Every structure is written in C-alpha cells, then in structure tokens.
Structure 1
Amino acid sequence: MKTYLVTGAAGFIGFNLSQLLLKKGIRVVGLDSVNDYYSVQLKEDRLAILKKHPEFSFIKADLADRAAIEKLFADHSFDRVVHLAAQAGVRYSLTHPHTYTESNITGFLHILEGCRHAKVPHLTYASSSSVYGANTEMPFSVHHNVDHPLSLYAASKKANELMAHTYSHLYGLPTTGLRFFTVYGPWGRPDMALFLFTKAILEGRPIDVFNHGKMQRDFTYIDDIVEGVYRVAEHTATANPDWTGSKPDPGSSMAPYRIHNIGNNQPVELNYFIEVIEEALGQKAEKNLLPMQAGDVPATYADIDALEEAVGFRPATSIETGINRFIKWYREYYNA
C-alpha cells in the first residue's frame, strides 16, 4: 500500500484529495495546523470524516515548526508528498504579510528539506494562478515568464516554484508545481466568492462585487482539481531533454522539475457567476458595485495543454453543475 503525505489535510483541497486517495486504496498521513484563518469548525468537520477511515492518520503541526516537520519525516516513509498547506488569500496578504513568509516560505523550506533527506520519490505542491500577476497575454501558459506578481501571496507562490527548482537541480528531487485557478465546490473556503455570495444572498444582505462584476475567473470545480492533482502526483517529474539555457522554458528544466496549470480553460465573467448562483438559490442578489481591489487581477484563463499532454486530463465540470452541487451541500451543511 502506498503512503501519501497530504499537508493541509483539513483544508478544502487537502480534504477532498485525501478522500480520493483513500478511495483508491492509498494510506494518507494528513498534516494541518487547523488555524483560525477561517472557521475551525468547518476544518474539524472535514477531519472528522477523514478520521473515520482506518488508513487515515492525522498530525496537528505548524509548517513553520522545523522540529515537528523533521519528526514527521523521521517517523514516516512517504511514497509521495502533496504539499497543499499554505496561508491562502490575496486580500489577507495585504494586512498580514508576515503570516505568508512564515507559512509559505519557511514552511515550504521545511517540506523541501524533509523530502530531500527522506529521498521522497516525488513532491507535488500547490502554486497559484496569481503568479501570472501583471501578465495580460491570454490564456496564461506555463511557458510564459511570471516575474510581476501583484500581491505578497503571489510572490510567495512564485518563490515556492523557484525554491523547488533549486532542490530539483541540486539534489535531484522531482518536483511538480500546480497553479490552481479559482477552486470552488462543496466544503469550500468561506472566504471565497461562491461561499460569501451564497451566505449573503440567503441572509438578505448585499454582496460586494468588485470591478463592477467585469472580472473574469477560470473557476475550476474541486473534483477536477483533485483528479488532476492525483494524476500529476503519480506522474513523477522528469527533466526536459530539449531544455536549453539559451532559451529557457519556465515550465520545465534540465532538472526533474515541472509546472502545470489546473484550470477549467473557460473563463467566466463574475456577473454571470452571480446569475448562476441566483438561479440555483431562487433569489436575487443585492449588489454593492465596487472598483477593483488592490492585488486583484482583471482576468484569469488557463492554458492546460501541458497538463493534458503529461497526464491525459482536462477539467470539464461546467459552472452551472458545480455551483448547483455547492449550493446543495451548503443548504444541507448549514440547514439553510
């Protein structure tokens, strides 16, 4: 039986990935600090489901705790590491910058060191579509240069990709970074638009709509995300034999290092996203139209050709299907 380490196991993607792995007969060691960035109860409820499975074990620890992470790798042998734990959120990074360096930089270093010394066969880690920053050429491709982040969160994710490349180059550690594009679905994060909008509309409160709803996002359903993560984790990163330093490809390397986008490849305008929520709820939203927020980008749109070529997978869940599934879960979970 294979054993996976999933960091961020109490989080939205980590919880869903752990469920998928357990269904596939894979043993999962889940790590999470269960911090209070959003509802601890939601995280505990996710964990309660995972803990019912005999092949799931949970360790509560902070990524920034070097001794705890060293002990984790000393106590267990991992066939794969999927590193999803991080301080998330573009807007939160404007007010709590130190949290991002502690979790996303120092914490990631501890995971890299653990994988290096334990000779883990493959590290897959969460990057973000936010690394594209000031880029405007669409769709965003892993072959594009991404040196103009617009938030500290984005910069921390770009730093992760650079750190991973260093470890792939120096120590031969196979690493694959996954740039997630606006993940949504059941058990989702309360700080994300779908959750915020649904809650406010049901409670009869206005919703804040930035950039007057003209923003576009490549909303990607959670089941598509975790299927992609699993396939990538099983597909160990290799060196690109055609890579050359005279024309360096940002998405690959002479080292066993890869970057992939995971997005729906179908950007949706925020105004339409809200219409689908209204339709699913049977209620209209009162909109508080606002300008673009600092750190935000007007559009995201993923080129997923590299992902499909590597693992034969393309996300395909429609926004209508995904939103309806989320609202069904929300009504059941909150008895709304």
Structure 2
Amino acid sequence: MAFSSHTFGFAIVLLCLFLSSFSVVISRSSRSSSQMSPGFYRRSCPRLKRIVRNGMQQAVAKEPRLGASVLRLFFHDCFVNGCDGSILLDDTPSFTGEKNAFPNRNSARGFEVIDKIKTDVEAACPGTVSCADILALATRVGVRQLGGPSWRLRLGRRDARTASQSDANRDLPSPRSNLSTLITSFGKKGLTARDMTALSGAHTIGKSQCRAFRTHIYNETNIDPSFAQARRANCPFTGGDSNLANLDRFTPNRFDNGYYKNLVVDKGLLHSDQELFNGGSQDSLVRRYSNRKNLFFFHFSVAMKKMSNIGPLTGTNGEIRTNCRLVN
C-alpha cells in the first residue's frame, strides 16, 4: 500500500510524540530511582540500620518465626500497589485497608515488631524514616539472622496514605494457585519465573495454617502419602482451620534450601509449593536449588532486590508516617 506525503508526515509526527512520551516515562523512572540509595539516611538517621538490626535480633531471638512473619509482610506489601507500607495501616470507621483482605486476615503478623522498631527510630530521628523502609530493612535483617543471604537494598521509600483491600484480594497469590497462575501473577509485578521460584523459597522458614493446605493433603495425588497422613493429624477434614504446620519439615527456623528438598520428594505443604515441582517448567530449577544452596541464595537475593523496588513512593509522594498504623 502506498502512503501519501501527508500520511507519511502524520506518521512521523505520531512517532515523535510517542518517543517524546516514552522519554518522559523513562526520565520519571530514572528520577524516582535516583532518589533512592543504600545510604539514603546516612546523614539524616545514621543509627537507623543499627536500631533495626537490634529490634529484629531481639524479636527473632524471642520467637524465630517472626523472621518469616516479617518477610511475609514485606512480600504482601510490595505485591499490592508497591512497597509503600500500606499493609501496616489499620482499618478505621472510614477506611478499609489490607489487613483484613482474605490472604492477610488472621494470618499476617509481626506488626508489633515493626511498631517497636518505628518507636525507637522516631526517638532517634523524628519524622525521617518511612515505615516502608523500616519494613524493608527488617525483612533483610530477619532473613540474615536465620542464616539466609543479604541483598543490596536501596532506601528512600515513602509511606502510602491509603491501602486497598480489593487489590490485596486480587493481587496476592493464593496457596491454591497452579504454576501458570503463579508465573502470570509474578510476571505482572516485573518478576520472572525464576524470580518466582526463588522467592517461593521463603517458605523454607515459617508456618502455614491448616485452611491453606487442607485440600492438598486430603484431595490431591501429587503428595507423598505418608507425609499427607502425618499432616492430617493436626489438620482435620473439618475444623482446626488455624492449626499450624511447618512449611519446611526439616529446618523450619533456619533459612536454607530444605524447602526444595521437600518438593523433589513430593512433600511440599501447599498446593502452590508442589506446583513448582510437578512435571512443569520449574522442575529442573527446583532440583538444582535442592542440591545447590548457594545458587538458591544468589537467585533469592537477586529476586528480593527486584521485588523491593516495585512501585516505591519517593520524593514528595506519600508521607513519612509517625505511626505505621495510621496516616498522619
């Protein structure tokens, strides 16, 4: 088909407008990234990392499960409108947040740990450090304290003034998700299938409630029969929804690669766990992680770095909350 000079000229104008808009988007993204750095609070709150480290060490020493709980809080925060501290907001008569979304209701925990650290940080550096950054730092400390890897963490996030229960219900992956749903869900957040499989390794620590794994242990066949029978002892077919089981039967309080060793022998606790090793695209990676802890640690660190940079509020967006549970 031949184009007239008028049509060609119009196409050139459209192309220029598109490139101009694209450049603006890139520029804005670059400015947002440049506003965050590992040393963001070096001058304004030099004791920050020490305060967070002391707070998490005290909490995890008292209850090792809190390392997993805070890690889960961070994951659930970042997956809903970015890493903005929105999950920390309490409901009020005029505001419905994320805490009572189905994936969080009666299961999200560790809020008191973040509250305590925030109080200590406010005493040292009033109105300076966001709850979103405290949660990000506390997560890294908790993983490290339980024997896991560290990762480079940029700081400078600001706190959201709102939260969305409906977005939490929509965006947070279900323990009943199949592999393709998991890959799609993580992909929407800019995370690859490898990132998803590595981040799922967070289940090498912590516990899960019976209601999340009942269907897997009673109705599914891709599970070791003796393992399913053992889990049924504490998770009846009806009732006992909040009864707990370790996500990693080997070392539930140690961040290692035991989770993947469970999967290769069909002893994943959740349906979504065993989907990673069930004849699909992630089988070979799971097997590699089960044999090479250092490879898992490296990929986990890369994925955590990427996840921690999902949709941060920076600059004049959001606020620095003085109380993590309430907007200022």
Name the structure, 1 or 2, with higher relative contact order (CA <8 Å, separation 6+): 2
TM-score, normalized by length of structure 2?
0.29
Larger radius of gyration: 2
TM-score, normalized by length of structure 1?
0.28
> Which has a greater percent of strand?
1
